[in-house]
Chain A
Amino acid sequence: MKIGRVTGAVVSTIHHPIVTGHRLLMVDLLAFDGEATGDYVLAMDTVGAGAGETVLILDEGNGARQVLDEPEAPIRAVIVGVVDEVSVGD
């Protein structure tokens, strides 16, 4: 899993049926010190994450399909948690 910050929401009218009814969020990936890595991912929200929040991202297809309970969903990245705190080392 990865840690990221929600930086935007993607609005799309024409999309694969699996996207209907879900929110697609733009997430900047973070290093464990909280700095942005420069990389990003569009992730499907499953927990009600909000703008600017630090989130936990599952970036693996089989896990994502299990979370969504859709055996053939073409989705790899899903937001599975809202992070309260990250503590590294001392």
Chain B
Amino acid sequence: MHLARVMGTVVASTITPGLEGTRLLILQPLDRRLEPRGENIVAADAVDMAGPDELVYFVASREAAVAMPETFVPIDHAVVGIVDQIHEVEP
């Protein structure tokens, strides 16, 4: 799992079967210092509560497909949690 910031949402009224009603989010993946890393991705919202500007963590590939309430839907990234806080520890 990796961290990402929710940048926006995607609405697609015509969508492949299994994804009707699924919230789609635009994510900016982040590095460990919460700086942007890599390109934006579109992810399904498996917790159904993530909104713009929130810090979230997401999974990819098969893990994303089983994260949704109805498993094995055709998605490649899914948000599985919203971060309240990260307790950093000193080395």
Please list the residues of chain A having a beta carbon within 8 angstroms of any beta carbon in chain B. 5-16, 18-19, 24, 26, 28, 38, 40-43, 51-52, 61, 72-77
Contact = CB atoms under 8 A, between A and B. Distances in A.
B84 A12 contact: yes
B66 A10 contact: no
Ranked nearest first, the 6 interchain pairs of A and B with the lowest CB-CB distance are A15-B81, A74-B67, A51-B89, A42-B1, A16-B80, A40-B32
A15 B87 contact: no
Interface of B: 1-3, 31-32, 46-47, 49-50, 57, 59-64, 66-67, 71, 78, 80-91
B47 A72 contact: no
A74 B46 contact: yes
A9 B87 contact: yes
A64 B61 CA distance: 14
A65 B62 CA distance: 12
Contacts of A6: 89
Nearest to A76: B63
